[in-house]
Structure 1
């Protein structure tokens, strides 16, 4: 028994020494293996970073931005924000009204020119003073109307920035106040009484048209609303800005020429048509919020053809006036031009789908373009 135990002990010692030797050998081989691969990995990473740095240097030399540069991302973000803000303000300003106002002022200013020498830096300065001040007031008027029509515009014009939520009410108020102040400040600096009174009357009528106060909010009355638009676009724009050029810029006595009277009468037709037609695509929201426009009272189709009839009458009057002109070139251009315009108008009107809001809105923009042609 003891022999067997002794024999077992000696073999165990021998095997233990063998295991230790094997363990030591395995550890050394493992360390060599990991060290080899670690060095290899470091070499590969070093090569990768050298290549990456070389690529970045080449891009920098070629003027290309680094993909990982946070400044490029910030610049793109700032530029996108600027573009979105400008687009929202562009829609807020109602650009078709801005264009119409600017062209009307330039056109009526040309009626004050009596001789070639009147085209001078003085003329350009006087026109710019009138246009800039009037556009500031125009933005005040259309902006104020949007502030008080947010709920209506969510139905009628959801693309406007206040209705869509792109502008907050506070932002709208700040824009409206800023542009009204700038308009009056410019009018005061210029020192032209016709210009100042044009701005003041436009301010009063534009405010009374939109603001919700007792005896105001005149847009709820179809007749009063039309008269406000007629007074501003047909009378004030024509007469006041003509007097601005005549009396303030050229220092001449106030006189109303035949072309000025005709232009005022002709633009009165267009102003009435615009006042009536603008409510045709807005019938849904106006019905919901109790705006008693002519379209709500008479229906879209009837008001549409009343507008077409008024425009055709205006073109007819222009043709008669042109035919009575003593100048052959003036007679030919006026008669032929308004004949073509009346035919285009009739053709476009007959192709409008009155059940499509998009088609009606498109035709409304066509009327503004027709007014631009007359200006």
Structure 2
């Protein structure tokens, strides 16, 4: 028994001793395991991430998240087009005014009744176009919310669908038939312009694309806004006054120019995806100068409209104003570099600014 106890203690003490052949030491770059004069130095090797998709924007704070959403939403809706339509709303509404007493709180409520549903459908129109043009915009407009990743595709779908539903619901609650029909035609035309389907995707045909822009800016916007204000808000007979006629002619020319010009900077992506525009068919330079000539013709019409006014101050203001606008547009056209997309877009923004000014002057007649 005593001998067995001694044997157990001997074995335990032997286990506590370090092995002669095996040693584990701390060395530079990791642990060194030595066995029979062989050294193994295990090291951690970082693995590359295989995530290829860009991660969605995830702000840490709620305030930053809300701010980011609304800033992105602002650029999602093409603000320059919305500003143009807002000014068109005010201009067409002013054409319905016959006397100073018509400009009352009811008049401003009527303007808000136009702006709210049309802004929502405007958001739908721009949204559905970007959703179906996502791959093209990665080439032509990579800075937009969807191709840049600021908005996910799912977010774009939710925003677009919600805008359409809210737009028609708002129009229904207002109860104005001119407003409803204008909204419906606006929705249908631009859905057909962008959506892929049988007999749809009209933007692939340059003539149909031009008709979409022409009909919207020339007829749908000014007529629906004017008759909403005239018949629904002011409760007066729906006539077709001379200033409205000049407005329609001016917008018909200007919208035609915009419909041709808008595809000039997008020629690369349009060619890649088989979209035929006048720019891809006729060339950028030729289409550019055709557009400039059309814009000059529009300001010529506005100039003549001003001269037809019975008021001297209107003749001077609109005549001189349209002459200046046309001159600036022609002068700046000489310095546009058609090989530089930024230069073309800068001139395109100038076209929209001149449109806003021209609409202001037409409302004075």
TM more than 0.5: yes
Decide which of 296, 301, 304 is 1:312's aligned counterpart: 296
Query: What SS class does the counterpart of residue 199 from structure 2 fall into?
Result: coil
Residue 211 of structure 1 deviates from its aligned partner by: 0.2
- What residue ranges of structure 2 are gaps of 5+ in the alignment? 1-57, 360-365
Max Rg structure = 1
CA distance, structure 1, for counterparts of residue 135 and residue 113 of structure 2? 36
Query: How many equivalent pairs are there?
Result: 302
* 1:257 is aligned to 2:241: yes
Write out per-residue CA displacement over residues 302-345 of structure 1, whole angstroms, 9 at most, x where no aligned residue: 11100100011112222223234332211111211111111111
Decide which of 184, 189, 200 is 1:216's aligned counterpart: 200
Alignment of 1:1-375 (within 5 A): 77-375=61-359
Write out per-residue CA displacement over residues 182-206 of structure 1, whole angstroms, 9 at most, x where no aligned residue: 1100100000000000110011001
Partner of 1:22: none
Over aligned residues, Cα RMSD in angstroms?
A: 1.4
CA distance, structure 2, for counterparts of residue 86 and residue 118 of structure 1? 36
Query: What SS class does the counterpart of residue 265 from structure 2 fall into?
Result: coil
CA distance, structure 2, for counterparts of residue 342 and residue 206 of structure 1? 30
Query: What SS class does the counterpart of residue 281 from structure 1 fall into?
Result: helix
Residue 87 of structure 1 deviates from its aligned partner by: 2.0
CA distance, structure 2, for counterparts of residue 162 and residue 81 of structure 1? 17
Q: Higher strand fraction: Structure 1 or Structure 2?
A: 2
Residue 83 of structure 1 deviates from its aligned partner by: 2.7
**TM-score for both structures, normalised by structure 1:** 0.78
CA distance, structure 1, for counterparts of residue 256 and residue 147 of structure 2? 27
Residue 165 of structure 1 deviates from its aligned partner by: 1.7
